Structure 1
Amino acid sequence: MSVSLTMPIRKVAVLGAGVMGAQIAAHLSNAGIDTVLFDLPAATGNPNAISLKALDNLKKLKPAPLMSASRIDGIVPANYGSDLALLADCDLVIEAIAERLDWKADLYAKIAPHLAAHAILASNTSGLSIEALAANVPAALQSRFCGIHFFNPPRYMYLVELIATKGCQPDTLDALETFLTLRLGKGVVRAKDSPNFIANRIGVFSMLATIEHAKNFGIRFDVVDDLTGPRLGRPKSATFRTADVVGLDTFAHVVKTMTDTLQADPWHALFKSPEWLEQLIAAGALGQKTRQGIFKKVGKDVLMLDPSTGQYIAGGQKASDEVKALLKNTDFAAKVASLRASNLPEAQFLWACLRDVWHYIAVQLEHIADNARDVDFAIRWGFGWEQGPFEMWQAAGWQTIAAAINEDIAAGKTLSSTPLPAWVMARDGVHTPAGSLNAVTQELVGRSTLPVYERQLYPPTVLGEAEPNFGDTIYENDSVRMWMPPSNLTTAGVPVLSFKTKAHCVGANVLAGIQESIKIAEQYHPGLVIWHATAPFSVGADLMSMGPAFMSGDFAALERMVFEFQKTSQAIKYAKVPVVGAAQGYAFGGGCEFLMHCARVVAHVETYIGLVEVGVGLLPAGGGCKEFALRASRLARNGNILEVLKDYYLAMAMAKVGTSAEEGQQIGYLKESDVIVMNANELLFVAQAQVTAMAATGYRPPVRPKAFAVAGRSGAATIRAQLVNMLEGGFISKYDFHIGVQIAEIVCGGDVDAGTLVDEDWILKLERERFMGLLQKGKTQERIMHMIEFNKPLRN
């Protein structure tokens, strides 16, 4: 039977408790999906010992595959010997065992009798043909069998590739794509059944081409990484560091798949691991997981392999100043032209790397994907490039680059003499507002029309697509814009406020803009959403904007800004209409405080939230201390305010950051009523829906508390004693101790008796006074300048 799109996937089995299978199970549990993790029955003892060991290992992995420790409880360990009956309740079964066709075929035969009639069976493979696997699937399952390829680590990597078979029903793929997008928060591309699918096929080709050209042009590994990282719009790990992070054995395995299965590929001669790489693997130097690979750290020094000698030498060399100057050109077409025209080896190396990737994707597009957009998204989401390779080609001037590639093919400079496909010279690009090119049909393919994508009001786009319509401006200043999305993208006329500042930091104009936007929303609209199209939500106060007053000693001006910060937080909290924060990425300091004051927060799961002011020698003074003092008073049982307050206090004093939205909720930065979504592209849709729902049910702002009890000086003394222990144990510095005492005295209400009733203004006044006192300290000033200069905290 085919699978209805309305049939929910509520329970999933993962077959194979290896590192990848266990992490897929972890992410399913992160999403609240009941999950069963299978492996072989243990030879002795508990038959589930293998699965149990895998679950225990999940707690130790870094980065953490679980969004909170309790998520481990959502995974049931099982084995193929006694627990196959558990499969009957599963709507999706993901096979993730070792890449052996015979092993997989045996497993499919074993589980088939136990699967529900509607269940989807998907193989998480990267090296085997999905059609070859399908041939070994029992006939009754073939319409519900497909390939699924998660990228490692599954929690953090956005990309999932789906691979259909000839017998797979379209509804099966649609149901699975909907589930992956909505419930697991993934970006899905449909790949053809070709070796290594899309992302690894192109991404690993790019790495191999880079390695080859580094050898040919005599470019050191560290210089290669300096050239092929952020300077080229790619991750900091660039090329060789990426191989170390992935694991040199894993990288070599993917290369071997290309060697074995792509013998007809015109670039086949490139598909081999260099000798130096094989030697590292043989020596057990596998990269980051063994703390030694292409690079290794000795003390504070980073050493680099010299492939000519096999020995490690000093690393850290950068690209030449001349080539760095060429790469600073913001006109990408001019940048590429200057690299090609330059005689500098580093410039010629970069041109060769770009040229051969463009040459390769043009030839292979028809074999790996239904359209060029899926190729670009696969590389962006799977390898972290800012632009996909087709986008980069189009930005560089399609016909200019095509002519240059043809010229280099004729001159024998390219890695293959294969001519460009005829369609390349007949077009001006592959992405247009009407869609992206299918190289087989020569048609333009539009976006997926699956209903799940209606929730993505501003989905990721590729260069050449129609520009997103960010609606009409309602109000704007230099730092914020309040706007109304187009009528087809808004729910009941809910306006949006977006910051225009770098990293969405908060300065005077942001504060003024928020206050004015709230006034407008109160008068004309059902509510307001604070949302930015890109992460982060906000890194907090704009330290640079405070610079002039700070350097001139105009502390009165700085105190006025702190007062405005508090006034803004209170305006958010007590607005007559609901103000909803839609957060993703970092929400630090003042950004966190704004969210704490929102009527509701809609947070992407990967929202990293915290009051981190201690890192710059300060304390939360935008209402963060006040909110925690108020919450502790309200939640206290039998008047024991300190019992509730201590965890809140420690979070501020230790600048604790929630490493997921769920953890931020557990710490207390987010409320239990706040909403967590898996897909960041759905934030605005869900936030607007929250405003609409609150407005429809007669939203009433919270009542300003006339008085609430505080822990008083005795509470502060108890906290001080804890700080003394931390100081003596070496966990904090003397200045951290000093800041911690200030925070303790604020959240406990100052020099008053335990149980004294105060109001919000009382705590806010304490915040301002202690903040300003710290701001005039030399050590705080050192921390602020260090953060401005190095973008990292100083613990002096």
Structure 2
Amino acid sequence: MTRFNVKKVAVLGAGVMGAQIAAQLVNLKVPVVLFDLPAKNDPPTLPAVRGSLPPEGAGAALGRPGGGAGPKNGIVLNAIANLKKLKPSPIGVAADAELIEAANYDDDLKKLKGCDLIIEAIAERMDWKSDLYHKIAASVGKSAILASNTSGLSITELSQALPEQLRHRFCGIHFFNPPRYMHLVELIATPTTDAEVLDQLEAFVTSGLGKGVVRAKDTPNFIANRIGIGNLLLTMKEVERYGLTYDVVDDLTGKRLGRASSGTFRTADVVGLDTLGHVIKTQQDKLSAETDPFYAAFGTPADLAKLIELGNLGQKTKAGYFKKVGRDVLRFDAKSGSYVPAGAKANAVYGRMLQRPAAERLKLLRDSTGAEGQFLWAILRNGFHYAAVHLQSIAHTARDVDQAMRWGFGMKQGPFELWQEAGWLEVAKMVQADIDAGKAVCTAPLPDWVFKGPVAEAGGVHTDKGSWSPSTGAFEPRRTLPVYQRQIFPELLLGEGGPRSAEAGKTVFEDKAIRVWTLDDDVLIASLKTKMHVISPQVAEGFTQALDSAERDFQGLVIWHDDEPFSVGADLESMLPGYVAGGADLVGSMEQELQDMMLRVRYAQVPVVAAIRGMALGGGCELSVHCARRVAHLESYMGLVEVGVGLVPGGGGLTYIARRAAENAQASTGKDLLPFLTEGFTAAAMAKVGTSAIESRQLGWLQWSDVIVPHKDELLHVAVSEAKAMHQAGWRAPVKRLFPVAGRDGKATILGQLVNLRDGGFISAHDFHIASLIAGVVTGGDVDPGTLVSEEYLMTLERRAFTGLLGHPKTQARIMGMLATGKPLRN
């Protein structure tokens, strides 16, 4: 396969999806041109014989047909400006939105010639998309890939609007909303799409954009929406049957069921009820009772239709199935057409049932007599039934379905995984018995392959050989594209064969807190085993042993875990009892051991690389900044958050802030140290967390030499490669040296600003006290400005501030509150 070098991407359509796809490209430093109609009062310029209404993002973006007066790229510029206002943010750093190049179809089609990938993302109208293809066809580069971002239109039918020479480079690409955060991207070929084109695009989307790719067949709504929306409609029918309220349903169908925490109806509100209605209509229009035996259940639910009619479209209109009024959450009551108090919870007995092993859980639910238990069994049964009946028509393998539901709908397990875990044939018999008894929503029997042949013999659809494909009648292995060689431990499905990190490689040593191991005898890997990967005294000892071993026998050390988070910090649960038992001296000793370990990491005689995924907070952030290099997944969250538990960073984080300020000042022409210190102090005192690796770089937790990795499963490969490259380049540990601090003058300046915040009511007295202690450490304490100090000196100040706060009643209340609720207490 030739390398697909994506130098620039064009996105056509500056609506919700188009603009956010462009934002994700910018996040990953891919140059992008965003197109839409010219903003002017003249009629749209798409061919008059074909056109009807302008594509998504045209008039609507400026609030009037045709876009109104203003700059010709006003529609796109308006969409780019709106990116900065959205929550959750589609863009890592708001200022990067300006990197998106604005263009319009009248003046700028020549820019398409320089684009290697063109993603069309206008509204879901076959005629609009076809019109646009006629307009741009002559401007598409000779080797460019053209892809339509559609949630369910026929890709083959769309391809008919293209000239013959373009059809082999055309396919479907379905991003899920929001594109930055949703892992799934579906790729859909037409009969004329070149196989290499799909392989090239899959490699770029996987490694370049960090997504999980599933190849879907060209059927209505593809895989994830076909199964997901089908399940949603079947769930809504069961809600009506059992008379349950939206809040109870969401309580049952969220995390308790291994699905997205927003449950069923809150998820619908987030997606947008108009969007949901459109996807439902696609299934209604494109399917029939002949093509889908479940078709009778696909009517638009009456309450959904009513909400859409009222304009209550969910989160975007601040009212949908739920509405928030002040601090109160209300739910829509279809009978009265008004909103009533929400907050009802499911019976606790069903919560306990859902905690049982899969086989026992399903049997308990099926045998239960209460409405909630019967409802849960019904929606799970319907899900198994629907997925089995449609597997052959919509997907190549059962793997595609389970991955699509994991990545596109936030399920912990796909339907086939859960079925297999609970006992394949036992569950199949229960489902078929309900079908035969008329309890299911559809009379179609389960396919023959469910009960006999290879699947029945293997006990499920996922095996060491691969996942079941009804089309080929065999278990099909995963694709072996070169890009997947970068995923040493890919995300596996239950029952699927493949490498698992816990058993992989050669263990050098292991205890309850840490495993130190190697894949290739060149680089050592340290993986924490503690809950949330907290850094306990035992972990610190393990790191020290790992460093000794790495310096003696290896080229480098990588800190990596196969799950999130990287680390949420020091083990507070053991620290408070330590204070009670041994007082400040014992805790001070524990803190010094932690600090010594951090310095050991910094000055190790081999490069130490932190592979960061998820949260790196408190001590986790401190550990990462003391490493020689950081390799961070894009969606990493870094910061010193100790203020939230009434403490100051005590593992060298404040020392790092002071040292980096001195280094940055030395590299500049400025004489004053304080401006270089301010941002780091503020980040620590306000517990600021970088909400992406990009923002963490802005805050100083990552350096410009560090690597941001789009795909979570490539972290280990890149981190090990970095360690080897640093070793081969002759890497040497930094030399210990003294550095200047801002001294008492800098501290006085900071304290003056803190007084204003306290007296203005922006921070509490205890916040002021903690921030004052932080200021004292990062400025070097009671010394003259410019005094040269060592890291050990500043770490001593850290320890004193930390142990002093640990005995403070308000700090103890914050710690206990965090341990009890997981949320910071502001006292």
What's the TM-score, normalizing by structure 2?
Answer: 0.94
Deviations along 1:644-676, one digit per CA (max 9) or x if unpaired, are: 001111110110001111111111111221111
The corresponding residue for 2:749 is: 718
Residues 494 and 691, structure 1, Cα contact 8 Å, conserved in 2: yes
Residues 65 and 155, structure 1, Cα contact 8 Å, conserved in 2: yes
- Structure 2 SS opposite 1:554: helix
Q: Is residue 2:326 matched to residue 1:326?
A: no
**Deviation of the 1:553 alpha carbon:** 6.2
- Provide the rounded CA distance (Å) in 2 between the counterparts of 1:556 and 1:223: 51
Q: Which runs of 5+ in 1 are unaligned?
A: none
- Provide the rounded CA distance (Å) in 2 between the counterparts of 1:697 and 1:9: 29
Q: Which amino acid aligns with 1:475?
A: F
- Provide the rounded CA distance (Å) in 2 between the counterparts of 1:411 and 1:148: 41
- Structure 2 SS opposite 1:168: coil
Residues 615 and 795, structure 1, Cα contact 8 Å, conserved in 2: yes
- Provide the rounded CA distance (Å) in 1 between the counterparts of 2:770 and 2:615: 23
Instruction: Note the 1:28-43 alignment, pairs <5 A.
Output: 28-43=25-40
Q: Which amino acid aligns with 2:698?
A: Q
- Provide the rounded CA distance (Å) in 2 between the counterparts of 1:140 and 1:512: 64
The corresponding residue for 2:688 is: 656
Deviations along 1:553-612, one digit per CA (max 9) or x if unpaired, are: 633222221111101111110111111000011110000000000010000111110001
The corresponding residue for 1:670 is: 702
Instruction: Note the 1:572-611 alignment, pairs <5 A.
Output: 572-611=601-640
**Deviation of the 1:96 alpha carbon:** 0.7
Instruction: Note the 1:480-559 alignment, pairs <5 A.
Output: 480-485=514-519, 490=520, 493-552=522-581, 554-559=583-588
Q: Is residue 2:662 matched to residue 1:633?
A: yes
Residues 243 and 287, structure 1, Cα contact 8 Å, conserved in 2: yes
Which stretch of structure 1 is more off in the superposition, 573-582 or 731-740?
A: 731-740
- Provide the rounded CA distance (Å) in 1 between the counterparts of 2:682 and 2:316: 33
The corresponding residue for 1:773 is: 804
Q: Is residue 2:399 matched to residue 1:373?
A: yes
Q: Is residue 2:125 matched to residue 1:93?
A: no
Residues 23 and 100, structure 2, Cα contact 8 Å, conserved in 1: yes
The corresponding residue for 1:405 is: 431
Instruction: Note the 1:193-592 alignment, pairs <5 A.
Output: 193-263=218-288, 264-329=291-356, 331-426=357-452, 427=456, 428-466=459-497, 468-469=499-500, 470-485=504-519, 490=520, 493-552=522-581, 554-592=583-621
Q: Is residue 2:160 matched to residue 1:141?
A: no
Give the RMSD, CA atoms, in angstroms: 1.2
Q: Which amino acid aligns with 1:642?
A: L
Match of 1:701 among 729, 733, 736: 733
What's the TM-score, normalizing by structure 1?
Answer: 0.97
- Structure 1 SS opposite 2:782: coil
The corresponding residue for 1:79 is: 104
Q: Which amino acid aligns with 2:701?
A: Y
The corresponding residue for 2:765 is: 734
Residues 32 and 74, structure 1, Cα contact 8 Å, conserved in 2: no
Residues 4 and 204, structure 2, Cα contact 8 Å, conserved in 1: no
The corresponding residue for 1:25 is: 22
Deviations along 1:344-376, one digit per CA (max 9) or x if unpaired, are: 221111111100110011010011110010110
- Structure 2 SS opposite 1:631: helix
- Provide the rounded CA distance (Å) in 2 between the counterparts of 1:356 and 1:45: 53
The corresponding residue for 1:9 is: 6
- Provide the rounded CA distance (Å) in 1 between the counterparts of 2:707 and 2:116: 26
Deviations along 1:28-50, one digit per CA (max 9) or x if unpaired, are: 11111111100001113321111
Residues 130 and 146, structure 1, Cα contact 8 Å, conserved in 2: yes
- Provide the rounded CA distance (Å) in 2 between the counterparts of 1:467 and 1:339: 32
Residues 221 and 304, structure 1, Cα contact 8 Å, conserved in 2: yes
Residues 480 and 500, structure 1, Cα contact 8 Å, conserved in 2: yes
Q: Which amino acid aligns with 2:506?
A: D
- Provide the rounded CA distance (Å) in 1 between the counterparts of 2:762 and 2:275: 38
**Deviation of the 1:515 alpha carbon:** 1.2
Deviations along 1:420-462, one digit per CA (max 9) or x if unpaired, are: 1111101221100100011111111111111000000000101
Deviations along 1:707-745, one digit per CA (max 9) or x if unpaired, are: 211100010000111112222333322211111110001
**Deviation of the 1:188 alpha carbon:** 0.3
- Provide the rounded CA distance (Å) in 2 between the counterparts of 1:681 and 1:75: 28
- Provide the rounded CA distance (Å) in 2 between the counterparts of 1:495 and 1:743: 35
Deviations along 1:285-311, one digit per CA (max 9) or x if unpaired, are: 111111111111222221222333333
**Deviation of the 1:196 alpha carbon:** 0.7
Residues 33 and 74, structure 1, Cα contact 8 Å, conserved in 2: no
**Deviation of the 1:182 alpha carbon:** 1.0
Which stretch of structure 1 is more off in the superposition, 600-609 or 290-299?
A: 290-299
**Deviation of the 1:638 alpha carbon:** 4.1
Which stretch of structure 1 is more off in the superposition, 462-471 or 39-48?
A: 462-471
Q: Which amino acid aligns with 2:227?
A: I
Which stretch of structure 1 is more off in the superposition, 307-316 or 615-624?
A: 307-316
Residues 673 and 741, structure 2, Cα contact 8 Å, conserved in 1: yes
The corresponding residue for 2:778 is: 747
**Deviation of the 1:551 alpha carbon:** 4.4
**Deviation of the 1:410 alpha carbon:** 0.7
Q: Which runs of 5+ in 2 are unaligned?
A: 41-68
- Structure 1 SS opposite 2:616: strand
